[in-house]
Amino acid sequence: MPGFVVKAERDQLVKDRVAAFGEKVTAITQEADLVCIHVKKEAVHELLKTLRDELGFAFLTTCCGMHFPGEAQEFGMVYHLHNMRAGHRIRIKCRTTANDLEYPTATDLWPTANWMEREAWDFFGIKFKGHPNLKRILNMEDFPAFPMRKDYPLEDPTRQDKDDRFFGR
Amino acid sequence: MSKVEKPDYWQKDLVHGRDLSELTTLNLGPTHPATHGIFQNVLTLDGEIILDTEQTIGYIHRAFEKLAERRPFYQIPTLTDRMNYCSSPINNMGWHMTMEKLIGIELPKRVEYMRVIVMELARIADHIICNTIIGQDAGATTPFLYVYQWREKIYDIYEEICGARLTTNMGRIGGWERDFSDLAWKRIRHIVDELPAGLKEFDSMLLRNRIFMDRTIGCGPIGGERALAYGFTGPNLRAAGVDYDVRVSDPYCSYQDFDFIIPVGTNGDTYDRFTVRQEEMRQSISIIRQALEKLEKLSDKTSLRADVPEWVLPPKEDVYSAMEPLIWHFKIVMGETEVPAGEVYHCVEGGNGELGFYLVSDGGRTPFRLHLRRPCYIYYQAYPEMIKGGMLSDAILTMSSMNVIAGELDA
């Protein structure tokens, strides 16, 4: 029925290597066709580096910020890595609290992370330690908010007909 | 206008032995005819040699990711249209396939082959735009005027299929809104039969043209290793010698049924990017030809949708005349169908590279989060490195050969 392939053998290689991280990896889940590694923030850089250097995930497809209002671990970063040789992708998630919004940068591993992290800063207010040029990228410099956060209203706040009830949540 | 902050090593400028006052700051853009889009580059020049570039983007940022959080799933294709507007159908199909992956729908082969035809037409249109503009920026106006007529013919096909030419909003989640008309099929066959000759004419104008070769070989090069580190995908990566193509590495939409070649370059310069795109157009024609043959061999001549009434909008005439389709139409439009909660990443080979959709659904009527991996946005950050130490006129050519589309860059 599903129109995708799960690469179980490749996934197992990743799981075996990641087991060495012990408690720093909080969970490993299967989300549709991709394996997702949930990692604590202090180990995210180490994990990315290990995956890049030892398991061939040499290509950073994308990384983006996330916001889950009302949860204890309110913010998050999601990385998609790609091992082009083996045709294998994985997802890495790293959640954090609203008081502790500083991630280690991935620009030392992949120069392409530069603008992706600037986007995460611009839209979610997530900081990156060691980033060479962390400033807003798509919004104007003096924009007063982080617009992709869920509490930033998209619609005119005085409208009565566009609240979350109408969107199923 | 913002001034470039010159790094420390230029304060001394021992390398060039020049006085700093001899350096020029030049604003290339935001509205400059040669940038073919709205983005700014503040160049620091020594004579005509580029020393540094500061990029400013975001002039047409429209917050698609935020807008998508307040739009039902079937309203999102109109946002994807406006990303890479030179090949909107690929973006549309990419979004439909992302949703199909989330819901778990499998499509009839006929629908997939029709999608392949449209996507390859879009790729040809995209590459025609890019390659003729390379010619234009190198001083050859002829291809821009003559080869562009093929793009017009492809837009005529879009118009016949969906009614729109540029922002197509083509197809639906789970299939097609209506069948291609006879005229559309006729036009597709016309393209397949006649375009190779047109491309040959295009080749004869530029491919071995001494002036064009002198201008483009070695202009704005990037190596394979650097290109991968910068997240290049698509023709720009292949020009640097890496044979990565999503159609082959993660086949979607039955691309595994087709036989085609992935052209690669060696130097990753403007000439290689030009030739890779030229060859890709020929391969696209061959794919369309194969798709037409496969469609003829299929016993199924009518199916247009997957058999999932709770997700696929029924044909309009049925909605007006029958009970069941009316109910489904109402439920879909009002967002009363159950969306599974889950996360999917789906990518397609867009005109510029890997176009990815990372969709997080929490079971609501709209995406909880939709992240768009726009290939332009990711590879455009390598631009300063590619033009450093080159001439200003090479910077223009490099930009047009990278095919930076402002809509996709800024989303």
Question: In this predicted model, what pLDDT tens digit does every residue of A24-38 receive, in sequence order?
Answer: 999 999 988 899 999
In chain B, the residue whose alpha carbon lies closest to the alpha carbon of A135 is B56
CA distances from A89 to A20, A24, A104 (A): 20, 21, 22
Residues 6+ apart with CB under 8 A from A100: A41
Helix H, strand E, coil C: the string for A78-106 is EEEEEECCCCEEEEEEEEECCCCCEEECC
- Predicted ipTM? 0.93
Please tell me the predicted confidence (pLDDT) of residue B6: 55
In degrees and rounded to multiples of 5, residue B56 shows phi and psi of -125, 125
Q: How many residues does chain A have?
A: 169
Name the domain count of chain A.
1
Phi-psi region of B92 (alpha: psi -120 to 50; beta: other; left: phi over 0): alpha
pLDDT at B264 over 50: yes
Strands A34-39 and A88-96: parallel
Is A160 within a domain?
yes
Question: pLDDT-derived band of residue B288, with 50, 70 and 90 as boundaries?
Answer: very high
Q: pLDDT of B218-239, one tens digit each?
A: 999 999 999 999 999 999 999 9
Q: pLDDT of B269-282, one tens digit each?
A: 999 999 999 999 99
β-sheet bridge partners, residue A29: A36
pLDDT at B372 over 70: yes
Q: Which of A50-54, B197-201, B304-308 has the lowest mean pLDDT?
A: B304-308
Q: Where are the beta strands (DSSP E) in B119-214?
A: none
Question: pLDDT-derived band of residue B38, with 50, 70 and 90 as boundaries?
Answer: confident
Question: pLDDT-derived band of residue A1, with 50, 70 and 90 as boundaries?
Answer: very low
Mutate to test the interface with A, among B358, B361, B385 (most CBs of A within 10 A): B358
Is A42 within a domain?
yes
CB B351 within 8 A of CB B126: yes
Quote the mean pLDDT of chain A: 89
Q: How far apart are CA B387 and CA B393, in angstroms?
A: 10
The answer, for B66 touching chain A at a CB cutoff of 8 Å, is yes
Q: Which residues of B touch A60 (CB under 8 A)?
A: 231
Q: A154 vs B250: CB contact, 8 Å cut-off?
A: no
Strand order from edge to edge, sheet including A88-96:
A25-31, A34-39, A88-96, A75-83, A59-67
Please tell me the predicted confidence (pLDDT) of residue B323: 94
Q: pLDDT of A87-109, one tens digit each?
A: 899 999 999 999 999 999 999 99
Q: A168 vs B100: CB contact, 8 Å cut-off?
A: no
Is A1 within a domain?
no
Q: B382 vs A111: CB contact, 8 Å cut-off?
A: yes
For residue A112, the domain's CATH number is 3.30.460.80
Portion of chain B with pLDDT greater than 90, in percent: 71
Please tell me the predicted confidence (pLDDT) of residue B15: 53
Q: How far apart are CA A3 and CA B107, in angstroms?
A: 9
CA distances from B44 to A17, B24, B50, B392 (A): 47, 6, 6, 10
CB A83 within 8 A of CB A116: no
Q: How far is A159 from chain B (nearest CA, A)?
A: 14
| Domains annotated on chain B, with CATH | 8-56 (no CATH), 64-410 (1.10.645.10)
Q: How far apart are CA B41 and CA B372, in angstroms?
A: 24
Please tell me the predicted confidence (pLDDT) of residue A5: 79
pLDDT at B20 over 70: no
β-sheet bridge partners, residue A92: A37, A79
Helix H or strand E encompassing A67: strand A59-67
Q: Which residues of A touch B69 (CB under 8 A)?
A: 154
Q: pLDDT of B314-369, one tens digit each?
A: 888 889 999 999 999 998 888 778 889 999 999 999 999 999 999 999 988 889 99
Is A2 within a domain?
no
Query: DSSP secondary-structure letter at B38?
Result: B
Q: Which of B77-81, B101-105, B330-334 has the lowest mean pLDDT?
A: B330-334
Q: Which residues of A touch B58 (CB under 8 A)?
A: 137-140
Q: How far apart are CA B64 and CA B80, in angstroms?
A: 8
Q: B231 vs A61: CB contact, 8 Å cut-off?
A: yes
Q: How far apart are CA A131 and CA A117, in angstroms?
A: 8
Q: Which residues of B touch A27 (CB under 8 A)?
A: none
Please tell me the predicted confidence (pLDDT) of residue A25: 92
Interface of A with B (CB under 8 A): 1-4, 31-34, 36, 58-62, 64, 66-67, 78, 80, 84, 87, 89, 91, 110-112, 114-116, 123, 137-140, 147-148, 152, 154-155, 162, 166-169
Closest by Cβ to B345, choosing from A80, A112, A137: A80
Is A84 within a domain?
yes
CA distances from A86 to A55, A59, A78, A90, B212 (A): 10, 12, 21, 12, 38
| Residues in B 310-339 with any Cβ partner in A closer than 8 A | 335
Q: How far apart are CA B34 and CA B126, in angstroms?
A: 18
Q: Which residues of B touch A168 (CB under 8 A)?
A: 335, 363-366
Query: What is the four-CA torsion angle of B46, B47, B50, B56, rounded to 10 degrees?
Result: 90
Query: DSSP secondary-structure letter at A116?
Result: H
In chain A, the residue whose alpha carbon lies closest to the alpha carbon of B67 is A154
Q: Which residues of A touch B102 (CB under 8 A)?
A: 32
CA-closest candidate to residue A106, choices A97, A98, A117: A117
Question: pLDDT-derived band of residue A60, with 50, 70 and 90 as boundaries?
Answer: very high
Is A162 within a domain?
yes
The answer, for B230 touching chain A at a CB cutoff of 8 Å, is yes
pLDDT at B13 over 70: no
A38: containing domain: 8-167
| Burial grade of B130 (CB within 10 A; 0-12, 13-18, 19 or more) | buried
Query: DSSP secondary-structure letter at B299?
Result: S
